[in-house]
Amino acid sequence: MIYQRLLNHGFYLFIILLSSILLSGNTVLAVSQTVNPNASTEVIDNGITPPVDPENPPTDVDPNRPSKQPKGSLRLDFVSNLDFGRVRIGNHKEINAKAQFFKQGTDPRGSYVQLTDVRSESTGWTLMMEQKNQFKTADGQELSGAVLSFDHAWANASHKTEEIMPQVTRETLSLVPGESAIVAQAEKNKGWGVWTVEFGASQNNKDGQKSTLYPLIDSNNQPLINPEWNQPDFGNRAISLSIPDKTTILPKEYNTEIIWTIAKLP
């Protein structure tokens, strides 16, 4: 349960939670099929791809939340929810999102999106995200001027090669509410199969990506425990929320919504 509380010494905390939804664009209804895009790798599709470890595909992981049932031979399988946790009012210039956690002992990762392309003819695709509106409280009070940014994006797949790699936007994506931003693109005959795009990485990643995860500590330098996962909490420098000093912040919960779109190229 998301809640707010008052610290003993009188400072309020506010909570920011980002909920992500999936929107698959221009897809084809899924059927069981065998796809062999480059005459060397076979992909069998049953219409559902469970979440995989973005740093060790194709290992399945359990993010411990209900999974939507995406349809289509080009589809979005999973998108991380973003949680910025409880933040003391006054310390709000820049806030990092928490890491993505899993059950079954998998270490925390950066937040990520997972997609599947098992079309018989891979024409390419574009992955986009859009912040639907500014962060707001339940009664409509906005977090004026707040900017949500994503950085250190990289793509991964168990079958990745330079010849089929999608192109990922490497510069920082600072979202403007109501405007779409391109996250990744795959040209014809590229980006087929199951891919993840992770923002940031753990220090144990095998791809030489810069580590962006860090342990969260309290005022006594003791590890904070994530109450949902009952394990040490981690932040992720790759995803941040910047709030202007002049912005009025209330001791309430703020939310926004990200729309993710996967669209096929002609």
Q: Is residue 34 part of a domain?
A: yes
The answer to whether position 114 is within a domain reads: yes
Give domain status of residue 182, yes or no. Answer: yes
Longest CA span, the chain: 66
Amino acid (1-letter code) at residue 240? S
- Residue 1 covered by a domain: no
Q: DSSP for the chain?
A: -----B-TTS-BEEEEEEEEEEEE-S------EEE-TTSS--EEE-S----B-TTSTT-B---SSPPP---SSEEEEEE--EEEEEEETT--SEEEEEPB--STTPPPB--EEEEEE--SS---EEEEEEE-S--B-TT--B-TT-EEEE--EEEE-TT--TTTPPEE--S-EE--TT-EEEEEEE-TT-S-EEEEEEES--TT-SS-PPP-EEE-B-TTSPBPEETTTTEE-EEEEEEEEE--TT----SSEEEEEEEEEEEE--
For the chain, the residue count is 266
In a domain, 79, yes or no: yes
Sign of CA dihedral 46, 47, 50, 55: positive
Query: N- to C-terminal Cα distance for the chain?
Result: 44
In the numeric block, which tokens belong to residue 40? 């060397």
pTM, whole model, 2 decimals? 0.85
Residue 4 lies in a domain: no
- pLDDT tens, position by position, 25-52: 333 222 233 344 444 444 555 567 899 9
- CA pair distance 17, 6, nearest whole angstrom: 18
Q: Rounded to whole angstroms, how far apart are CA atoms 132 and 114?
A: 20
- Residue-level pLDDT at 14: 56
Q: Does 211 fall in a domain? A: yes
Distance CA 122, CA 119 (A): 6
Query: Is-contact 116 166, C-beta < 8 A?
Result: no
Range of the domain at 166: 13-264
Low-confidence stretches of the chain (pLDDT < 70) are 1-47, 66-69, 91-92
Within a domain: 7 = no
What are the structure tokens assigned to 84, written together?
Answer: 């910025």
Q: How many domains does the chain have?
A: 1
Per-residue confidence (pLDDT) for residue 86, from 0 to 100: 81
